[in-house]
Amino acid sequence: MTGSLQPFPLAPLTLVVGGARSGKSRFAERLLSASARPRRYIATAEAWDDEMRARIAEHQRDRGADWTTVEAPLDLPAALASARPDEVVLIDCATLWLTNHLLADNDLQKETEGLVAALAACAAPVVVVSNETGWGIVPENALARRFRDEQGRLNQRLAAEATLVVTVIAGLPLALKGSLSGLP
């Protein structure tokens, strides 16, 4: 952000939801960049194959080098606890975090409650990116249906706690809760 732009004040918790390749991560990164504070990126992805490694590298290139990156595929509460009050934090993304816990056969309700408590206790404003998975067809297998249902529950829980909730469709943000006024 250059020129005479004023910093965009971030809410204590912002949720940015959207479909795959909707522009939600780019929008969330723009929110944090507009805050004019040091930025912490909490990554939940795990690079299990070459395609995922390429996606992660693309995100890192797009972000640039002026972010502090913390890898936290499972332990978001610990990663949030280490955030400083002068920073802003981006979690990208809640969907992969949920997937990691689902595949590890962890107690999703317990993990969600721990995440919500950690978000409330975090010293810095946090923006959480998450996928909206409920607009597609009903999955054909039980694991996929469980994932879709759990993702919907997680998004609802995060939205209930957030001051600002934004959906991004085709790169365009739409405030569902709160306001985007003042965003550069």
User: How would you write the pLDDT of the chain (184 residues) with one tens digit per residue?
Assistant: 344 345 667 899 999 999 988 999 999 999 998 888 999 999 998 888 899 888 888 888 887 788 999 999 999 999 999 999 999 999 999 999 999 999 999 999 999 999 999 999 999 999 999 999 988 888 899 999 999 999 999 999 999 999 999 999 999 999 999 998 877 6
- Which parts of 64-107 fold into alpha helices (H)? 76-81, 94-103
Residues ≥6 apart with Cβ < 8 Å to 143: 102
Whole-angstrom CA distances from 91 to 25, 160, 161 are: 10, 17, 15
Contact 64, 100 (CB under 8 A): no
pLDDT of 6 reads 53
Active-site residue 59, yes or no?
yes
In the set 11, 36, 38, 59, the catalytic residue is 59
How many angstroms from the chain centroid is the CA of residue 27? 11
Do strands 164-169 and 172-177 pair parallel, antiparallel, or not at all (unpaired)? Answer: antiparallel
